[in-house]
């Protein structure tokens, strides 16, 4: 029997404050593996993951969006892209991979947050990291050990969001 995923999903939060402690390479590799096994359209696996550990590159990425200094503070930023020549659904495929990595990070005791890039900052991020033009930049995932306590999550009642037909 497989483990119940609900406790990890319930624990997942958006963290924007990180301790300066480096993240172990083994944990980063596990997070990347979670992205690699995510579902994709026609199992195309069109994603590319740019693991940004260089402090100067993280600062440059943080400067692209006002109020996003936490991108520079995270010890690791994973930039998720999808090759639009390999899928008709780059946003959906890349989002599946990013969410899988976010949940895996949480399960490994790490914090992360989704930073939207698609349709707003793609060209800027592409330029900073030298990402080829055929790749859609989906999001950035700053990852590290949380330096804050998560707030309790308020969940809307089932009757507001579920329709049984």
Instruction: Please report, for the domain that includes residue 66, its CATH number.
Output: 3.40.109.10
> Helix axis angle, 122-129 relative to 55-62, nearest 10°?
160
Range of the domain at 54: 6-143
pLDDT in tens, 18-42: 999 999 999 999 999 999 999 999 9
For residue 76, give every residue at least 6 positions away whose Cβ sits within 8 Å of its Cβ, in sequence order, or none: 23, 28, 51, 52, 53, 142, 143, 144
pLDDT in tens, 137-160: 999 999 999 999 888 889 999 999
146: its two tokens: 């949380």
Assigned domain for 113 exists: yes
Domain count of the fold of the chain = 1
Assigned domain for 162 exists: no
What is the arithmetic mean of pLDDT over 87-100? Answer: 96
Assigned domain for 156 exists: no
Assigned domain for 104 exists: yes
Assigned domain for 157 exists: no
Location of structure tokens 């009642």: 157
Assigned domain for 90 exists: yes
What's the pTM? 0.95
Concatenate the DSSP letters of all residues of 49-109 into one string: EEEE--HHHHHHHHTTSTT-THHHHSSEEEEEEEETTT-S-HHHHHHHHHHHHHHHHHHTT
């Amino acid at each position: 029997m497989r483990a119940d995923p609900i406790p990890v999903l319930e624990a997942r939060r958006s963290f924007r404050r990180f301790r300066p402690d480096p993240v172990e390479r083994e944990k980063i590799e596990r997070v990347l593996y979670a992205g690699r096994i995510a579902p994709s359209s026609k199992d195309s696996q069109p994603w590319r993951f740019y693991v940004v550990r260089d402090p100067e590159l993280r600062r440059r990425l943080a400067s692209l969006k006002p109020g996003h200094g936490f991108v520079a503070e995270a010890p690791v930023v994973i930039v998720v892209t999808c090759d639009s020549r390999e899928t008709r659904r780059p946003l959906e495929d890349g989002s599946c991979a990013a969410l899988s990595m976010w949940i895996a990070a949480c399960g490994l005791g790490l914090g992360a947050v989704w930073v939207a890039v698609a349709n707003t900052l793609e060209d800027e991020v592409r330029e900073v990291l030298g990402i080829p033009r055929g790749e859609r930049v989906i999001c950035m995932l700053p990852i590290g050990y949380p330096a804050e306590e998560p707030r309790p999550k308020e969940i809307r009642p089932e009757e507001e969001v579920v329709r049984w037909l």
